[in-house]
Amino acid sequence: PPPPPPAMQSVSTSLGKRPERRSKMSRMRQRVAARLKESQNTAAALTTFQEVDMGNFMEMRARHKDEFAKIHGVKLGFMSVFVKAATAALQEVPSINAYIDNETQEVVYRDYCDISVAVASPNGLV
């Protein structure tokens, strides 16, 4: 059977307590991580594209866009749907949201999601 997940720790930040789990890396995992980082620094990057059926959202948007703009003063765009989908993916596959703490040689699994989005304003992007 797989080993139990590491115990969750709370990390205090300016945003309050945020749960994280830490898992010590084996020597093999440390070596793989080092080689992956070397590869990232020296090899060409790859971009993938996914096709998504946006039909349901497009229908919902068409039905509610005028009312949404009237109430909120902005158009009902696509970004909220993309952020929601990205957040769901991060929660479903926690290793995507993890990072390696080189000082402690641990994988840190964040049990929260931070997603930043640039937003246009009259003075430029915020």
Mean pLDDT of 17-27: 85
Quick one: pLDDT at residue 40? 83
Quick one: pLDDT at residue 58? 94
Quick one: pLDDT at residue 2? 61
d(CA 126, CA 120): 6
User: What is the average pLDDT value for the chain, to the nearest integer?
Assistant: 85
pLDDT band at 71 (very low <50, low <70, confident <90, very high): very high
Contact indicator for 62, 69 with CB cutoff of 8 Å: no
Would you say residue 9 has pLDDT above 70? Answer: no
